[in-house]
Amino acid sequence: MRESNVVGVLTAGGDCPGLNAVIRAVVTRATERHDAEVVGILNGWEGLMEGRTRPLDRDAVRGILARGGTILGTSRMDPYVHGDGYESVRRTVESNDIGPVVVIGGDGTLRSALRLAEEGLKVVGVPKTIDNDIGATDWTFGFDTALEIATEAIDRITTTAESHNRIMLVEVMGRTKGWIATYAGMAGGADAILIPEVPYDLEAVAKVIRGRHRRGHAYSVVVVAEGIEPPAGVQAREGTTDAFGFKRLGGVAYQIAPILEDLTGFETRVTVLGHLQRGGTPTAFDRVLGTRMGVAAADLAAAGASGVMVAARGARIVPVPLAEAVTDIRGVDHETFDMAATFFG
């Protein structure tokens, strides 16, 4: 394997609050502690395939810790979908004398990173997603920020709902998993939470809501995860897929609303939070988690590790095999959802 003290860093897939914290940490740790040089790869895999890079030193990453998005840019381009794997990145790697590449991404990106590692590129992964669904890690940075935003939205929607005798559906992101919905619903005191991991029954939800209104609570808030199946008998919405083959989601709450309105007789309104959940400044927790993961990734890169991902396990950041992380997409466990369900109605 080629030896080089030039570390590449890229952010790929959807953006996520905390990416800049990771970039800052990788660059600072690699240059200050490991005497390495860092090359920033622009627009995710696209930059590695097309040779778009910029040198990064400590000064280049000052002042970005609290900034949302990514200073490197990102894309959903993929070397295995839009190219022929390692061959399509070889020129950029060799002409920049890049040794290890720190790949900051979600499960699609990390899957491609694993394949590149198998083809000989040195790769250290950092798990990124607001969805919190990457296997082998307890937390991903970005989740806490999305949770904060969704919770604040539920709090605000609750006060307007109270004034109108309405049912409010708040649809949150999370792709095929219900972490944001479950945690935001728990934090916001939702009267029902619908997530992909747990089959739902709108008759049962309506019964809970009717009971609640009968007891004098004249509004209800239901949190809907974007990835739930459409209600029984309703056709799935037409949708497109992204470069990784993931279906683009959003809007299922609009299919739920008329059914709940019919079943309860209460006006039912929908708010889809969408990309609001990914924008803006990261929370302190995400800045710290991103920083810790970035530092750990730079240390692993300097130590010559490859095919690994940094993971939060309990209070520690540890290396885990990338293969383990990408085969296990983590859903909400029954115990956690049951805790949230205790407070329904």
Nearest of 29, 1, 94, 31 to residue 291 by alpha carbon: 29
Cite the DSSP H helix spans in the chain.
Answer: 19-34, 45-50, 87-95, 107-118, 143-162, 179-188, 202-214, 252-264, 284-302, 322-327, 334-341
* Contact call for residue 17 and ligand F6P (CB under 6 A): no
Binding positions for ligand F6P, 58-97, rule CB under 6 A: none
CB atoms within 10 A of CB 81: 14
Name the residue nearer to ligand F6P (CB basis): 216 or 245: 245
Stretch that binds ligand F6P, among 170-178, 203-211, 296-304, 331-339 (CB under 6 A): 170-178
Of the candidate residues 174, 178, 319, 331, the single one contacting ligand F6P (CB under 6 A): 174
Q: Within 10 Å of residue 333's Cβ, how many Cβ atoms?
A: 11
Binding of ligand F6P at residue 130 (CB under 6 A)? yes
- Which of 100, 104, 117 minimizes the C-alpha distance to 303? 100
Round to whole Å and give the CA distance between 35 and 127.
Answer: 25
Return the number of the residue (39 or 150) whose C-beta is nearest ligand F6P. 150
- 2, 33, 248, 334: residue in contact with ligand F6P (rule CB under 6 A): 248
Site for ligand F6P in 252-311 (CB under 6 A): 278
Task: With beta carbons less than 8 A apart as the criterion, state whether 250 and 273 touch.
Answer: no
Judged by beta carbon, residue 44 or residue 174, the one nearer ligand F6P is 174
* Window 197-226: residues binding ligand F6P (CB under 6 A): 226
State the Cα–Cα distance between residues 165 and 204, nearest whole angstrom.
19
Q: 93 or 181, CB closer to ligand F6P?
A: 181
Only segment of 53-61, 95-103, 173-181, 261-269 that touches ligand F6P (CB under 6 A)? 173-181
Of residues 15, 78, 107, 131, which has the active-site annotation?
A: 131
Interface with ligand F6P by CB under 6 A: which range of 64-72, 149-157, 171-179, 297-305?
171-179
Smallest gap from residue 149 Cβ to ligand F6P (A): 12
| Secondary structure (3-state) at 277 | helix
Q: Is 131 annotated as catalytic?
A: yes
Cβ-count burial 159-184 (b if 16+ within 10 Å, e if not): eebeeeebbbbbbbbbbbbbbbbbbb
- Residue facing ligand F6P at closest CB distance: 173
Residues of this chain that bind ligand F6P (CB under 6 A): 14, 106, 129-131, 173-175, 226, 242, 248-249, 278
